Amino acid sequence: MAYRKLTRPVESMPARFGPITQVAYVTRDFRASLDFKIRCMGVGPWFVQERAIHTHNYRGEAVQFSMSVGLANSGGLQLEIMEQHDDAPTIYSAAMQRSFVRDVQHHICMWPEAYDEKLADALAHGYRAEQDGGNHRGRFIYLSHPAHPEHMIEFTEATPGRRAFNGAIAAAAQNWDGRDPIRTFADAQAAAEAAS
């Protein structure tokens, strides 16, 4: 296969949107996916929120859905596992229509501090919003590009609260000895508040 010769330097992803901070997966079996990551990969501890009700905007329409989420770090990279428990129209239920056995990579995430600036830049470069929302830690948005629609990216606003929460998850992974492999979002929030 012949490759096109580049006529100008390519701007790297870190220069454009910031470094990749998270790789996320959708799963058909939340607990089984956690168990594999813990027992077979040694990744943990996992901070989970199970069967919570979320409200996001999916392609401009508000939608409620039930989802379990787990977060853990491997070195400086955060991993996320998600299982949607209903058929509400979302980017997650759309991904479940793909052919895979238990879990599959869904999106990569960046945590820009200049959230609005990076979002405007992405939209100017052909990305389009698929789903967005927010909570007490800040805003987030999922984007796709028509040149590669299966490759989704997420921007999560790097507010002080978000940095502290994610920092607590990363700190827990350092020198983790395998004890208490499954914890809660409330545990991460308490650790974040204690560290501040």
**CA proximity to 184, closest of 51, 24, 92, 26:** 51
pTM confidence score? 0.91
pLDDT in tens, 9-60: 655 544 588 899 999 999 999 999 999 999 999 999 999 999 999 999 999 9
Domains of the chain, residue spans = 16-195
**CA proximity to 89, closest of 70, 109, 61:** 61
User: Is the CA virtual torsion 114, 92, 133, 73 positive or negative?
Assistant: negative
* CATH classification (class only), 16-195: alpha beta
pLDDT in tens, 121-130: 999 999 999 9
CB atoms within 10 A of CB 98: 10
Decide if 80 contacts 127 (C-beta within 8 A). Answer: no
pLDDT at 150 (0 to 100): 84
C-alpha pair distances (Å), 43 with each of 19, 35, 55, 176: 21, 10, 29, 9
**Over the range 146-172, which residues count as b (16 or more CB within 10 Å of their CB) and which as e?**
eeeeeebbbbbbbbebbbbbbbbbbeb
